[in-house]
Structure 1
Amino acid sequence: MSLLTQRCLLLALSLMLSLLGRPEKLTAQDVRPPNVIVVLCDNLGYGDVGCFGSKLHRTPHLDQMAAEGMKLTDLYAASGVCTPSRAALLTGCYPPRVDMHKSETGGAVLQPVSSKGLSPDEITIAELLKTKGYATTIIGKWHLGDQLPFLPTRQGFDSFYGIPYSDDMTPREGKPWPDLPLMRDEVVIDAPVDLNDATKLYTEEAIRFITENRERPFFLYLPQAMPGSTKAPYASDAFRGKSKNGPWGDSVEELDWSMGEILKSLKELKLDQQTLVIWTSDNGAPRRSPVQGSNEPLAGWGYTTAEGGMRVPTIAWWPGTISAGSACAEVASLMDLYPTIAGLAGASLPQDRVIDGKDILPLLKGEPGAKSPHEAFYYFMFDQLQAVRSGDWKLYLPLQEVKGGGWQQQKELFAEPRLFNLKEDLQETNNVAAQNPAVMKQMILLAEKIRADLGDDENPGPGRRSAGHFPEPTARVLP
């Protein structure tokens, strides 16, 4: 729809409402649903950017984005690792519900040439938005299955430009994987891809997509590949060696530049007041020696169910709708983006399945009295329920065997239940279980509630659905 047509329609609608005795002022949002951009960094820590406390990395564009929008300080990924987290974001469901909590070999994430992937029977947010006329694209890292039935172009996205799995999944001894491929749609266009220019190229592709679709509603899913999973993250020449924190800092500062370029383009195209932008990460920064990323002031590291593993830095930006300089400390999740975005687009949620996410638009708008829509948030590692949060309280459940490589150095912590008040104890150091028996009882009841639905630890519940399986997987290689 052209801008002239939009203005004429607005004028006609305004006149009609005036004649009906309803003189409300209409905006373009009354005619066209908002554009949506979701930027998902890879392994970026809670404390890796300035507006969330970093004194090490220079992130002026993200800091300005937060100043113009909202910081969500208590928003969680649905997993401390990559594949499950991304599946949850796109389906609005806990990873065990969609059977994306582990690989077909029992690993934490899908590997190249995997027979498993996100089921084509699942309805992604991209598929919902397609029903409302949205242009959809993914630019970046997919990691929900590299076989043809599982690729983004079969899951609601008009186009795909990026890599099908993690940057560290390259050929080596014992891993006869193909060279890391760069794909456009369903075809490999380069392999092995040089990821040093990944952030730059993804940014250029994103701006091109925005510009080409400025006259219609669009959904841009930009899962950045950086800082990534390799021990030496990538950055382009313009940023390599320029930060105070080695390759990790270089990649973070280039991610900041990328977000700045995208927001600048939205403003230049006069799309800023028509576009909701969410910037976040798929999980916390992993433990490295020497230390690279930061999850401060939270406890713990990525690949765990500690706060630092699953609470992710999040900024929401939508000038004219989200108040500048605002903050929200209510419990929310990346799963909540699914029903929230669907509601903004006017798309109906599927009625034949459970969706765990909740609409958090009242939180984003800062409506008076708006509270978290979640009675509880559940921390799963693989299929094991390890912790529960309700309000300010977090309970780690006692476990005989602890799943997840990130916990193995501290698995003795799970010998007994541990209860923390996160409002007072972000470092999770003061176990107050003994002093709060009533809270303990309520938290255990919440754990039993989700176990009755999804099961726990090799005992699947009735609420689980099946992943997709492809019997004879082939490698994605250059034609």
Structure 2
Amino acid sequence: MLARSAAAVGWFGFHVTASARRARPNFIIILADDLGYHDLGCYGSPMKTSRLDRMAAEGMRFTDFYSAAPVCTPARAALLTGCYGQRVGLPKVLFPEDRIGLNPNEITLAELLRGRGYATACIGKWHLGHQPPFLPLRHGFDYFFGVPYSNDMTPFPLMRGDRIIEQPARQETLTERYTTEALAFIARHRDRPFFLYLPHTAPHVPLHVSERFRGASGYGLYGDVVMSLDWSTGEILDQLRTLNLEERTLVVFTSDNGPAIFKGREGGSAYPLRGGKPLVWEGGMRVPCLMRWPGRIPAGRTCTELAVMFDLYPTVARLAGARVPADRVIDGKNIWPLMAGRRGARTPHRAFFYFRGERLEAVRAGRWKLHLEQKLIENGKLIDWLPPRLYDLEADVGETRNVAPDHPDVVRRLERLAARMKEDIRRHGRPPGRF
């Protein structure tokens, strides 16, 4: 750890002065767990999300923002490392019995920012390895209050730092306790730059909500849980206003992947998208995303360009004056031109790749999305086969009409992109940490 930290400082090569710390913006990334594309009012939901809708009106709403995976662990790895989870050896959901986690050699966004003089906190669900070498305090966070993995796994401890303070965690209290901790962290660090990563446990099933919100939404338990997340975000935005930090703070709200639609009324909605977690249909990986920064991000805007969760890594680094590591492949791109609403700004991605576990299942380039040929082989015999399926997302966002027979040239082009990406991951992939 000491060697890695020294290397990080070496990349930056600077002395952080008090005036420089004051000039740097704060960053808050709020990550819901399994929230669907259609689960906020500003995305068409009838559920009550007045504070998040107001955040959209005061900032920017993204229509084509993607998680890097349709499940928890690789999505969170992508956010913090700027890479597809497959590139950093974490392609699948981690379980309590697993003995791997985010490699200590990875340089997280928290480490980049701490190297620039930022106070850093992770408050909420981690899910990148629960053994000591993989916990947040070993990955650039000064402070951790939260849970090590999903709320449907056991044992389910609540931790402060590396210490268990409650087991099992009282799930109906978590959203409000996370919020209290987040507000206290902001207040403590109002006079220095800070990075707050707030990955909520909700609305992952099983659903839990405090009595304060039970029955309040009019849309069942799922609506109550979403309402509590809306309240939490509003509390944070109000705190920034009270402390005169609004114009110095970028706030991002998004989800780690799509909704668990297989849970019915308790699983959320991705309408008008097809599918949900854990599949690579749009509903599994296209997620709501709101960004707010008064004076820097124009209010009331909608961005329709493709952007990915791992783009936050190089973008936030740039805004903080940090250099992205040059000794490894980083998949994320700087999307500040999109966030700033610059005229003519376009996605920096030539293509986006939809991984499910270790398998690359689809690729998008512009309006076209290709689901790759799939073969199911058991005992050396072909059991099932799906041909390539091509969809025009501009005309058919619900992926209902396969137009592959009409565009064989597009199919071949996207297949070549997929083949190159598979080879790139093979050549430039990195291992997970092992315990």
State the TM-score, normalized to the length of structure 1. Answer: 0.84
Question: Offset at 1:445?
Answer: 1.5
Q: What is residue 429 of structure 2 aligned with on the other side? A: 464
- 1:452 and 2:403 matched: no
Aligned partner (choices 232, 248, 264) of residue 258 of structure 1:
232
Q: Is the 8 A contact 2:261 2:269 kept in 1?
A: no
2:82 is aligned with 1:92: yes
Name the aligned partner's letter for residue 207 of structure 1. Answer: L
Mapped to 2, the partners of 1:267 and 1:147 lie a distance apart of: 38
Instruction: Give the whole-Å Cα distance in 2 for the aligned partners of 1:287 and 1:31.
Output: 44
Structure 1 moving runs of 4+ over 2 Å:
28-31, 287-292
What residue is the counterpart of 1:183 in the other structure?
159
Question: Alpha-carbon deviations, 1:84-137, whole Å to 9, x = none?
Answer: 1100110000111100003xxxxxx11114310000000000000011000000
Q: CA offset at residue 244 of structure 1?
A: 2.4
CA RMSD in angstroms comes to 1.5
The whole-number CA distance in structure 1 between the counterparts of 2:408 and 2:427 is 30
Q: Which residue of 2 aligns with 1:330?
A: 305
SS at match of 2:265: coil
Secondary structure at 2:364 match in 1:
strand
- Whether 1:285 aligns to 2:256 is no
The CA distance in 1 between the partners of 2:50 and 2:211, in whole Å, is 19
Give the partner amino acid of 1:334: M
Question: SS of 2:325's equivalent?
Answer: coil
1:250 to 1:384, Cα distance in 2 relative to 1, 3 A: same
Corresponding letter in the other structure for 2:76: R
Q: Does the CA contact (< 8 Å) of 1:322 and 1:366 recur in 2? A: yes
Deviation at 1:290, TM superposition (A): 3.2
Question: Per-residue deviation at 1:236?
Answer: 1.0
* Residue of structure 1 equivalent to 2:68: 78
Structure-2 residue corresponding to 1:401: 376
Residue 431 of structure 1 deviates from its aligned partner by 0.7
Show CA shifts across 1:332-363 (max 9, x none). Answer: 10010000000000000101100000000000
What's 1:408 paired with?
none
Equivalent residue for 1:422, pick from 377, 393, 397: 393
Give the C-alpha shift of residue 288 in structure 1.
Answer: 2.8
**Distance of 2:408 and 2:20 partners within structure 1:** 49
Residue 101, structure 1, aligned to residue 107, structure 2: no
Question: Alignment partner of 2:110: what SS?
Answer: helix
Cα deviation for residue 29 of structure 1 reads: 9.1
The unaligned stretches of length 5 or more in structure 1 are 1-27, 103-108, 171-177, 403-410, 455-460, 471-479
Do the aligned residues in 2 keep the contact of 1:114 with 1:147 (CA within 8 Å)?
A: no
The CA deviation at 1:248 is: 1.0
Q: Cα offset for 1:197?
A: 1.0
Question: For each residue in 1:397-434, what CA deviation from the matched residue of structure 2 results, as whole angstroms up to 9, or x when unmatched?
Answer: 011039xxxxxxxx97x611111111111110011111
Asked whether 1:36 is paired with 2:27, we answer yes
The residue aligned with 1:53 is: 44
Aligned 8 A contact 2:58 2:300 in 1: yes
The residue matched to 2:406 in structure 1 has which SS? coil
Q: Give 2:326's aligned residue.
A: 351
Answer whether contact 2:51 2:230 (CA < 8 A) is retained. Answer: yes
Show the counterpart of 1:475: none
Native 8 Å contact 2:214 2:221 kept in 1: yes
Q: 1:400 to 1:344 in 2, by over 3 A?
A: same
Residues 235-272 of structure 1: per-residue CA shift (max 9 Å, x gap): 11110122222211110000000001100110111100
Structure 2 equivalent of residue 370 of structure 1 = 345
Aligned counterpart, 2:14? none
Contact 1:29–1:274 (8 Å) recurs in 2 = no
Structure 2 counterpart of 1:137, from 116, 121, 126: 121
Match of 1:244 in 2: 218
Partners in 1 of 2:134 and 2:205 — Cα distance? 22
Per the alignment, residue 208 of structure 1 pairs with 184
The structural deviation recorded for 1:448 is: 1.4
Match of 1:437 in 2: 408
Partner SS state of residue 280, structure 2: coil
CA displacement 1:59-82 (0-9 Å, x = unmatched): 000000000000011010010000
Q: Structure 1 residues 465, 68: closer, same or farther in 2, change over 3 A?
A: same
Counterpart of 2:332, as a letter, is G
Note if contact 2:144-2:160 (Cα within 8 Å) is conserved in structure 1: yes
- Contact 1:418–1:433, Cα closer than 8 Å, also in 2: yes
How far apart, in 2, do the equivalents of 1:210 and 1:202 lie?
Answer: 12
Which one has the largest radius of gyration? 1
Are 2:144 and 1:154 aligned?
no
Question: Residue deviations 1:14-44, cap 9 Å, x none?
Answer: xxxxxxxxxxxxxx99961110000000001
Match of 2:250 among 276, 290, 294: 276
Task: Please show how residues 157-168 of structure 1 align to structure 2 within 5 Å.
Answer: 157-168=141-152
Secondary structure at 2:87's aligned position in 1?
helix
SS in structure 1 at match of 2:140: coil
In structure 2, give the amino acid aligned to 1:350. P
Confirm or deny: 8 A CA contact 1:113 1:146 kept in the other structure.
no
Output the amino acid matched with 2:403: V
What is the aligned length?
411
| Matched AA of 1:45 | G
Percent identity, please: 52
Shift of 1:439: 1.5
Cα distance in 2 for partners of 1:31, 1:200 equals: 29
Change (3 A) 1:289 1:114: closer
Q: Residue 356 of structure 2 aligns to which amino acid in structure 1?
A: M
3-state DSSP of counterpart to 1:251: helix
